[in-house]
Amino acid sequence: MTTTLPGLPTAATPQAASVPPGNAASLSVWPASARLSARGDVSVGGVSLVEAAERFGTPLYLLDEGEVRDRCRAYVRAFPDTDVVYAAKAFLCRALLHWVGEEGLGLDVCSAGELELAVTNGFPPERIVMHGNAKSPDDLSAALRLGVGRIVIDSAWEIARLSALVPDGARQKVLVRVVPGVSAGGHAAIRTGTDNQKFGLSLTDGSAQHAIARILGQPRLELVGLHCHIGSQISTVKPYLTALRRMVGLLAQISHQQGVVLPELDMGGGHGIAYRPGETSLDIAALGARIRRELVSSCAAAGISVPRLTIEPGRAVAGPAGVALYRVLAVKRTGDSLFVAVDGGMSDNPRPALYGSRYAPRLIGRRSTAEPRTATVVGRHCEAGDVLAADAAVPGDIHPGDLLAVPVAGAYHLSMASSYNAVGRPPVVAVHEGRARILIRRESLADINGRDIGL
């Protein structure tokens, strides 16, 4: 159901466009549609955040449809003649599937659950790539049953397992995930381009080459290319160029030693975004241009044809399109520290606890003239590590009942959420052109209790 919230400012109205001096930079990491009003409210997609919080409650996630679509289009422009596939693990719901599909993107999934959600909602299976370091027989069977376009082989065990499941007379297209020996990423837990982590097959120790030779001997598997993913939150182009050269080197080795020309190369994603004003994000246009130049020149030097390129953005599409809203429940001073407790926490955003991620929450709904204070914004859960934003600048007069908005909340928040302490997950509301509609309803106690059937 689509609901129009009354009295919403839009990008075209003077109120929405009037940003007080010195405040424009503070919206630099927000969706492009964000507008600051004279009363301290912010609208996104033409929807007032204050009115959205009043109507739908808090915690609440807003997802700007226009921002998602614009980011998809930016990728298509930056990477012509490239298959751009959205990494569903960042965030997935039915509406988002339709948005990215309509903008021409494919899909990257990591489980039978993500795959079934996509295909049963009309996403073309031939435009889907399936990943996973430990795919179960059910995952692989679902991929074959639903006709997934590509399956990425992540271990030697998967070769025989998948081959045994392919029906007689059929062939499944596969890629091999290669570890190119490139260290990149914003945290040790999300650096996946080097040995001694769980993903892929090593280029250094020969595991990748051995797997490739085995696959070429499997009549039910069609090796169409190579895949690599070097990490997440990468903000410079250089690591991608290094990985690309090594992948082209392996393609050349396969061509010369096996006599096989592989037509595809998937360079993964991991494109970094800014979570706070002043942080850097990866320049997608520059990445696209330099990757293409390097691919053409490296292939020419190696004497092989240029493969079809695939990239897999996830966070960079969904992350900046999301805004989380919280209501302040308590403000407490302990020694020299100021704690602002809100009605959400690590159950709806585990990233600060997992990766030390940093955010820039903003007071909305009123203008404060109080001097800013440095505070730790914490959640409601029974964990000392339940921190949503460390070293956050908040008004000195912040108090219970205030609203805090956290931008760049569209990726790896709800997709990694839990019902810890029996707290239901927040709803997701799409905003676009002054209209708001619920995409995912709030998880209730009845939902949580309904899974507990034993006594």
Active-site amino acid positions: 382
Task: Report the phi/psi class of residue 201: left, alpha or beta, with left for phi > 0 and alpha for psi in -120 to 50.
Answer: beta
Distance CA(437)–CA(441), nearest Å, equals: 10
Nearest to 91 by CA among 353, 267, 281, 321: 321
Q: What are phi and psi of 433, to 5 degrees?
A: 50, 45
The Cβ-side half-sphere exposure at 270, using a 13 Å CA radius, reads 26
Task: Report the phi/psi class of residue 427: left, alpha or beta, with left for phi > 0 and alpha for psi in -120 to 50.
Answer: beta
Sorted by sequence, the CB contacts under 8 Å of residue 198 that are 6+ apart come out as: 133
- A 10 A CB-CB count for 238 gives 11
| Assigned token pair, 338 | 């100021």
Q: What is the dihedral of CA 429, 432, 435, 436, to 10 degrees?
A: 0
Do 438 and 429 form a contact (C-beta atoms < 8 A)?
yes
Nearest to 222 by CA among 287, 160, 175: 175
| Assigned token pair, 385 | 């590590």
The angle subtended at Cα 112 by Cα 168 and Cα 424, nearest 5°, is 170
Task: Indicate the DSSP class of residue 439.
Answer: E
Distance CA(267)–CA(260), nearest Å, equals: 20
Distance CA(247)–CA(158), nearest Å, equals: 21
Task: Indicate the DSSP class of residue 253.
Answer: H
Distance CA(158)–CA(398), nearest Å, equals: 55
CA dihedral (192, 196, 198, 204) positive or negative: positive
| Assigned token pair, 74 | 């930016």
Cα distances (Å, whole numbers) of residue 355 to 151, 175, 393, 404: 29, 30, 20, 22
Q: What are the residue ranges of helices labelled H in 343-428?
A: 351-355
Distance CA(359)–CA(319), nearest Å, equals: 12
Beta bridge partners of 427: none
- A 10 A CB-CB count for 327 gives 17
| Assigned token pair, 276 | 């706070």
